[in-house]
A and B are shown apart, each in its own frame.
Chain A
């Protein structure tokens, strides 16, 4: 094996570079375009390296196009989703992981199944419900919709983390006179903290990247999250690509950083379901 690997190393590295070029192509285009002037993007033949390197697009998206408002909306919605989700998922996960009750297996089965439901199925009726409840054009509406669609995965992951904690630790705390809820808050959560952080970041990312609910429920520019705000650069006849790519770059940085923090746990969770029994 090692022999084969040594012999073919140049081949492997060549293949890696080729595949990387393929996978990163749109990001090269993004960086190239965001450094061009609005005239240069319509030059034929298109240039990879801008002739006149400019950072003007950065100030334009901040000052003329209110990117800050979109950032603010995304931040509010993502943080709101993260908090609300944890408040409902952690107790549910503790119940599934540690308590005996009728229907426990069914709950786990359902958690796995509803993880796959597409928001598109409910969005046509959710629109009616939100309209009646006056939740159109509100952060609350987006936070509620995003939370509902992240509950199953979050509960599923947290159940796995709680199950992995030896029950002796919890029993010891209970003997010392700690209540069930007390053990959850003071014993279980601190031990499961890395898992909790993973789930929180995952919820944040999911809400940050969400597009469909925003497209359906938000009309007011001031309430638009980044994905929808950036989509406004796409016009019917022409698109301001230099501004779109600049905004895309700025919007992607936070999610990329956060994703790298949880990527290992996320892969492990998705691969094993993180849950045992």
Chain B
């Protein structure tokens, strides 16, 4: 017993370990005081009644949870968030794949094309969302003008003005931001696949589609997984696009959990309810993150 304690101590509380903890201390202090503590505080807020400044009043147990869970809007928002995330990520992956394939063909100007495709990802999301708000403008926006002038759509919708078109317009901006990341990751994967594989595929008489399905896709399978996972988390968290374009409206047609949390807190000053939704969001994100981390480390082992 005594001997094993000493070995344990010498293994884990030696000079090297002490230095490690010391070097990590500043990061840990910041993370604990400005991330862990605030999250704990949000849990507290969800269990207390709060005043309009978010100060804790009296303990209320699960009252705020019951209030939130009994509203229809909360469940609609949750389902919409799931639809929003899945739909956006699927379209991002498909469009990203098309762009990656296009960029994988050799032609002059390919490097320029690659540089240009990155711009939506490289630019600032809040600023892009503001630009899109102007693009979508019903009367004076250049999108509708172009659609009318070219005859593609002579009577285009008031994009951000009606529930369905607002949802489509908003999710498109989120997709538009996320596509270049997918494309670049896929392209990097494609370029790492050995040429020999394609050549032997050709000798076996495989056509372009067969080569894509049997060589390209398996070759970048792990990258597709990682990119999809990362993109899901970003999409789920995309506050800027929704808040700037529609603030969740008209009605609640573009509301997702993350914007609902913010609006309950800072627009309607219902901090307990905001905290309940933040806790729900936290639980969902934690599950997704742990899933991602596990998948990531499993892959590391496989490689």
Q: Are A118 and B27 in contact (CB under 8 A)?
A: no
- Asked whether B7 is an interface residue with its Cβ less than 8 Å from the other chain, the reply is no
CB distance from A115 to the nearest CB of B (A): 8
Against A, the Cβ 8 Å flags (1 = close, 0 = not) of B235-246 are 011011000100
Partner of B115, one of A48, A260, A273: A260
> Do most interface residues of chain A lie in helix, strand or loop, or is the interface mixed?
helix
A residues within 8 A CB of B140?
41-44, 46, 241
Contact A121 B278 (CB under 8 A): yes
Shortest CB-to-CB span from A224 to chain B, Å, is 12
Specify which chain A residues have a CB less than 8 angstroms from the CB of B211 in the assembled complex.
1
Among B16, B118, B278, which residue has its beta carbon within 8 angstroms of that of A100? Answer: B16
- Residue of B113, B128, B274, B296 near A16 (CB, 8 A) is B113
- Bits for A95-139, please: 1 = Cβ < 8 Å to B, else 0: 110011110100101001111111111111111110100000000
User: Of residues 187 to 203 in A, which have CB atoms within 8 Å of B's CB atoms?
Assistant: none
Q: For A1, give its contact among B26, B181, B202 (CB under 8 Å).
A: B202
With most chain B CB atoms within 10 A of its CB, the pick from A16, A96, A227, A234 is A16
Q: Does B221 contact A (CB under 8 A)?
A: no
Nearest Cβ on chain B to A78's Cβ, whole angstroms: 11
In the complex, residue of chain B having the shortest beta-carbon distance to the beta carbon of A115: B289
With contacts A16-B102, A19-B99 taken as known, whether A26 is within 8 angstroms of B262 at the C-beta atoms is no
Q: For residue B133, which residues in chain A have a CB less than 8 angstroms away from its CB?
A: 234, 239
Residues of A within 8 A of B213 (CB): none
Closest to B229 in A: A116
Chain A residues near B145 (CB, 8 Å)? 45-46
What chain A residues lie within 8 Å of B131 (beta carbons)?
Answer: 26-27, 29-30, 245, 248
From B36-44, B65-73, B160-168, the one touching the partner chain is: B36-44
Q: Known contacts being A48-B142, A116-B288, A120-B239, is A252 close to B135, with CB within 8 Å?
A: no
Q: With a CB–CB cut-off of 8 A, which chain B residues contact A123? A: 262, 265
A165 contacts the other chain (Cβ, under 8 Å)? no
Q: Give the A interface residue count (CB, 8 A).
A: 100
Say whether A63 faces chain B, with CB atoms less than 8 Å apart: no
In the complex, whether B105 has a CB less than 8 A from a CB of chain A is: yes
Given known contacts A116-B292, A124-B274, A124-B278, A20 and B130 CB-to-CB distance under 8 angstroms? no
Check if B113 sits within 8 Å of A20, measured CB to CB. Answer: yes
Please give, as numbers and ranges, the residues of chain B lying within 8 Å of A216 by CB-CB distance: 266
**Do A112 and B113 have beta carbons less than 8 Å apart?**
no
With contacts A211-B126, A216-B266, A252-B124 known, is A121 near B42, CB below 8 A?
Answer: yes
Per-position 1/0 for B273-285, Cβ under 8 A of A: 0110010011001
Partner of A120, one of B99, B262, B271: B262
From known contacts A120-B239, A120-B281, A121-B39, infer whether A273 and B127 are also in contact, taking CB-CB under 8 Å.
no
Query: Per-residue 0/1 for A29-40: is the Cβ within 8 Å of any B Cβ (1 yes, 0 no)?
Result: 110110000000
In the assembled complex, how far is the CB of residue A36 from the closest CB belonging to chain B, in whole angstroms? Answer: 11
**In chain B between 169 and 219, which residues have their CB closer than 8 angstroms to a CB of chain A?**
176, 179-181, 184-185, 188-189, 198-199, 202, 208, 211
* A57 CB-CB contact with B under 8 Å: no
Query: How far, in whole Å, are A180 and B23 apart by their CA atoms in the complex?
Result: 11
Within residues 213 to 260 of chain A, which ones have a CB less than 8 A from any CB in chain B? 216, 226-227, 230-231, 234, 239, 241, 244-245, 248, 251-252, 255-256, 259-260
Given contacts A102-B17, A109-B297, A148-B35, contact A91 B24 (CB under 8 A): yes
- Tell me if B122 counts as interface (CB < 8 A to partner A): yes
B244 touches A231 (CB 8 A): yes
**Residues of chain B contacted by A120 (CB below 8 angstroms):** 237, 239, 258, 261-262, 278, 281
Alpha-carbon gap, A161 to B301, bound state (A): 19
User: From residue B257, how far is it (CB to closest CB) to chain A in Å?
Assistant: 9
**Chain A residues whose C-beta falls within 8 Å of the C-beta of B128 in the assembled complex:** 26
User: Which 8 A/B pairs are nearest by Cβ-Cβ distance?
Assistant: A259-B122, A209-B124, A125-B41, A91-B23, A211-B126, A101-B17, A99-B20, A122-B38
6 pairs, CB–CB < 8 Å, chain A vs chain B: A115-B289, A117-B39, A127-B54, A227-B127, A260-B122, A271-B226
Give 17 new A-B contacts, CB below 8 A, not counting A27-B131, A117-B282. A9-B107, A12-B105, A20-B116, A25-B135, A26-B128, A46-B141, A95-B21, A112-B289, A112-B293, A116-B288, A116-B289, A125-B42, A208-B124, A209-B127, A230-B130, A263-B118, A275-B300
Give the B-binding residues of A (Cβ under 8 A).
Answer: 1, 4-5, 8-9, 12-13, 15-16, 19-20, 23-30, 32-33, 41-46, 48, 87-89, 91-92, 94-96, 99-102, 104, 107, 109, 112-129, 131, 144-145, 147-149, 151, 155, 180, 208-209, 211-212, 216, 226-227, 230-231, 234, 239, 241, 244-245, 248, 251-252, 255-256, 259-260, 263, 267-268, 270-271, 273, 275-277
